[in-house]
Structure 1
Amino acid sequence: MLTKLPQVLDFYQTDYAIATRWQPFADTQLFMQLVNQTQRPMLHYWTLPQTIILGLRDQRLPNVQAGLDFLHQQGWSYFYRNSGGLGVVSDQGVLNLSLLLPNTFELTISQGYQLLSELIQASWPTLPIETGEIKHSYCPGTYDLSIHGRKIAGIAQRRSRGATAIMLYLSVTGSQQTRGATMAKFYQLSQGQSPDFPLVQPQVMANLSDFLPAASNSTQVQQQINGTLQQHGYQLVGSRLQKLVQQPEFKQQQQSAWQNLASYNQSIL
C-alpha cells in the first residue's frame, strides 16, 4: 500500500494548547478542504497536553456529567470532537498523526486503515506490531495497533466528498496505566455499559517506548516515520504549508472553524 501513495507529500507539525483544545479538529476540516483544492496529500503531526478527546458516542452515556466532573477534578481538560467513536487520551507523550488524501486517490475504508497501519509497521520493522481489536482498551477498534497484546495506537477515519483523513494516535511515552485508569473511571462513573462502551483494563495499554527505549519522545518518532517515507521514495515538503497557514485568509477560516467547534461544546464549557 505504501508504494501507491503520491510521491510528494506536504507535512506540517503543530503543538496545540489546552486553551484552543478543539483546534486540531477544526484544522483537520480546513486541511481536508485544502487537499481537495490542491490535490496534494499531506501529513499533519500534532500534540495536545492533558486532554480527553471524547467522541459523539460518549454523549449518549447515561450519566456523562458525573464522568466529566471526575475528569475536571483530576485536572484533565476535555471536549467533544465532531466525529464518531469513543474517548481517547492526549498528552505530551502521545503523538497524533493525520494522513489527508484527495478522493482522486481512491481508497476503501479498510484500505485507508491498512495504509496507516503499514506505515507504522514499516517504521519499526523489528517490532511485532499487529492489527486487531484490543477489547478492553479505550476506544477499541478493528485496526488497533498492539505489541504482544498491548495496545500502543488507534486509528480512525473522517471522510468528505473531497478528501479522506486517516487519523492515528500513538502512545510514545508517559503512563499508559494512568491514561487507562482515567478512562476506566470515566466510563464507570458515566454508567457506560458493554458492548456500547468499553470496560477499560489499563494493563492492556502500553507505550511504544516500553518496547523500544530509543523512541524517547514524539519528535524522534516523527523523524522515524518521515525517514521511512523517504526511504520508500517520497518527498516531504514542509515550507509550503508553513507559509499558507500564516495567510490572513487561512487565519479567518481557522477562526470560523474554531468557533463552530466551540459552539458544539457550549454545553460542557
Structure 2
Amino acid sequence: MKNWKEIIRHKTFRYIDHSTATMVAGKPNTALASFAMDDALAISVSEAASPPVIRLWVHPDTIVLGIPDSRLPHIDAGMAFLEEKNYQGIVRNSGGLAVALDEGVLNISLIIPGANDLSIYDCYEAMVQFVQAMFADLTDAMEAYEIVGSYCPGDYDLSINGKKFAGISQRRVKKGISVQIYLDIEGNSKARASLIREFYHIAKQNEETTFTYPEVTPDVMASLSDLLGIPLTVEEVKQRVMDTLNGLTEEIITMPMQDTEQENFDKRYQQMIKRNENI
C-alpha cells in the first residue's frame, strides 16, 4: 500500500469552500449539487485542467441515501417520513448507505488524479491518515474498522473507543478520484442515528430483502466534540483541514469555475435529478 503522503502530496492544491454557500454553479447548494460538483471536478482533475482539489461542504437536515437504500420495499413511506421530519432525502452517486447531514457535520472531498495507479484501499487509507493528522495534537486513538450498529457501516469507519464519528465513500470518474468523508463535529449524534434507524424501520417494515440493511444502534455513534471532550466547531475543523493540507503542498489556490466544469456540472446535476426522480 502506498504512503498516504505520497498520494495526497501535490505541488498545488485548489481549495473550494462551499460550506456556507447558498448557490453552487447556479443551483441551490444542496447535496444534489455537491455530488454533481465533485463529479465535474473529478473530470477536470482527470484531464489536468485543474490541480487536485479539496472541497468543504455542509448541508442542513439532509439524509443522503445510497443506491441500495433506493431499493427498500417501502421507500416511498421512508421518504415521506423524512419529509415529515423536515429532512431532504436524496440518493447519491457514490457508494455506501444512508448518512445524516446537518450543520454540525463537515464533509470533505479530496479530488485527485491517478485512478489507474491508486487502489481503492490506497485512497481510503490516505483519507483516514489525513484525518488522523488533522487531530494529532488532540488524540492518537482514531481507528478505522467497521462499527457494527452504525449507519453506513464499512471497513473504513473512523472511531474513537468504538464510537463512530466519520464514514468514507469513494467515486471514480475517468482518471479522477473523489474521496468523500463526513465528519460528525458537533450536535446530537444519537438523534441523527435514531432518525436513520426509524427510516429503515419504515422503509423496510421487517420484509425479507436480498440486501442486508444495518440495524442502527445510536449508542455506537458520537460527535468528535463528545469523544474528545472539547467543544469543537465546524469552523475550527475547517482550519485544521487547511493547516494539514499546507504541510502537503507548496501552494493552495482558489480559481473560478471553468466553462467546461460548468458544462460537466450541469450534465451531472441533471443525472442526479433523474436518479432521484426514479424513487
Q: Give the TM-score taking structure 1 as reference length.
A: 0.90
CA contact (8 A) 1:11 1:236 kept: no
Shift of 1:222: 1.4
Quick one: distance in 1 between partners of 2:158 and 2:31? 25
Q: 2:254 aligns with which of 218, 236, 239?
A: 239
**Counterpart code for 1:224:** R
Report the equivalent of 1:63. 74
Q: 1:143 aligns with which of 142, 145, 156?
A: 156
1:103-157 C-alpha deviation (Å, 9 max, x unpaired): 1783211111110000111111232111100010000000000011100000111
Quick one: distance in 1 between partners of 2:220 and 2:115? 38
1:6 is the counterpart of 2:10: yes
Report the equivalent of 1:30. 40
Quick one: distance in 1 between partners of 2:116 and 2:241? 21
Quick one: distance in 1 between partners of 2:66 and 2:169? 11
Report the equivalent of 1:218. 234
CA contact (8 A) 1:93 1:173 kept: yes
Quick one: distance in 1 between partners of 2:203 and 2:106? 27
Q: Per the alignment, in what secondary structure is the counterpart of residue 33 of structure 1?
A: helix
CA contact (8 A) 1:103 1:161 kept: no
| Structure 1 unpaired stretches of 5+ | none
1:120 is the counterpart of 2:120: no
Shift of 1:42: 1.3
CA contact (8 A) 1:57 1:84 kept: no
1:150-189 C-alpha deviation (Å, 9 max, x unpaired): 0000011111331111110000011101100000001111
Report the equivalent of 2:273. 262
Q: Per the alignment, in what secondary structure is the counterpart of residue 53 of structure 1?
A: strand
Map of 1:97-136 to 2, 5 A cutoff? Answer: 97-103=108-114, 106-125=117-136, 126-127=138-139, 128-136=141-149
Quick one: distance in 1 between partners of 2:199 and 2:183? 21
Q: 1:184 aligns with which of 179, 197, 200?
A: 197
User: For residues 101 and 130 of structure 1, do their structure 2 counterparts lie closer, same or farther at Cα, with a shift above 3 Å needed?
Assistant: same
Quick one: distance in 2 between partners of 1:236 and 1:226? 11
**Counterpart code for 2:42:** M
Quick one: distance in 1 between partners of 2:188 and 2:145? 22
Q: 1:168 aligns with which of 181, 190, 194?
A: 181
Shift of 1:252: 4.1
More helix by share: 1
Shift of 1:267: 3.5
Report the equivalent of 1:53. 64
Q: 2:218 aligns with which of 190, 202, 207?
A: 202
Q: Per the alignment, in what secondary structure is the counterpart of residue 7 of structure 1?
A: strand
Quick one: distance in 2 between partners of 1:64 and 1:11? 37
Q: Which has the higher contact order (CA 8 A, sep 6+)?
A: 2
Quick one: distance in 2 between partners of 1:7 and 1:204? 39
Q: Which runs of at least 4 in structure 1 moved beyond 4 Å after TM superposition? A: 16-19, 192-195
User: For residues 187 and 236 of structure 1, do their structure 2 counterparts lie closer, same or farther at Cα, with a shift above 3 Å needed?
Assistant: farther
Shift of 1:201: 0.5
| Structure 2 unpaired stretches of 5+ | 23-27
CA RMSD, 1 decimal: 2.1
Quick one: distance in 1 between partners of 2:121 and 2:29? 35
Identity %: 32
User: For residues 91 and 64 of structure 1, do their structure 2 counterparts lie closer, same or farther at Cα, with a shift above 3 Å needed?
Assistant: same
CA contact (8 A) 1:215 1:221 kept: no
